Structure 1
């Protein structure tokens, strides 16, 4: 577990569908769909991915002008794109902001996250599509974050990081118990000593787990 990280370094749909990244089988059809999906980042997207932020949970009424007003407080903006439905023209509730300097990106990611704009609390993070290897978007069953109500939670991101898997030394305890059970019984004295050994081992296990 030395290489464990709460945030995914490579996108794995199966792990993303697990709260601690340990699932060995997909638990819903969306995870299956993401596992077999073949996604290539949109080549038409321009700009430096390392200087670009993903801004989500926007109020449908929030405009490009409003976003520019808010995010220009953190540095000079090179590009800003509010994603809209190509048919209706309505906002899809997310945008991308590219800055001119790295320090502006870092500052905006830190300070604009959970900022309330037009009565909506924003989610702000680095762009993932072109920076996270193996990325699969939500529409294909992947993505990160999400709400419980949607039934499609995805972990390993800033919004919902992985929880560290619990190391249960039950097998060690069972091995001790098994080893003791194979030794020939030698009356009450042996039984008493065996209980002391098991008790001491259990205390060590509790201390190590704290």
Structure 2
């Protein structure tokens, strides 16, 4: 997928395409990282690239649970605690596993939305979480997709900053490397050699 979303056919296609693009941007921040680097929080923030991938995966799956009216395991308090924990990439987790899980959730989102005829279908606001509105009974599937784009884009920006703190790599150089863009006078694709002595991990996904 290039740096811009392809032409879209309709609202549904556009929402899914822009969500996919933001997932790609976040994944690209992980391009070429080792597990240790993905786990690292190099800035004053506690955020890491791996933790951000883990969090958006947890969040997107949670919203699909809400759309499908599937009750996730545990109480609201336990789910809130899990949400905070899912900002941290565990010592026993690998970046490859986290990205594979993100792909699985993305496929589930696309399948779920494809099976819903009307994007205006009401999605009841889950009870029990203090940060959710008390004056709204339901959103729509359309609202959920807009929110997922917003949430993913926010954390993709976080991941860009964390990655630049790690090794100086910036978003367009990484995207050029992941997508195989040719080098030009104004853009040099990131290369594994730019990170001396560290092996790269191939993370490109075909969308």
- Structure number with greater CO (CA < 8 Å, separation at least 6) is 2
TM-score normalised by structure 2 residue count:
0.27
Q: Compare the two structures and name the one with the higher strand fraction.
A: 1
TM-score normalised by structure 1 residue count:
0.26
Q: Compare the two structures and name the one with the higher helix fraction.
A: 2
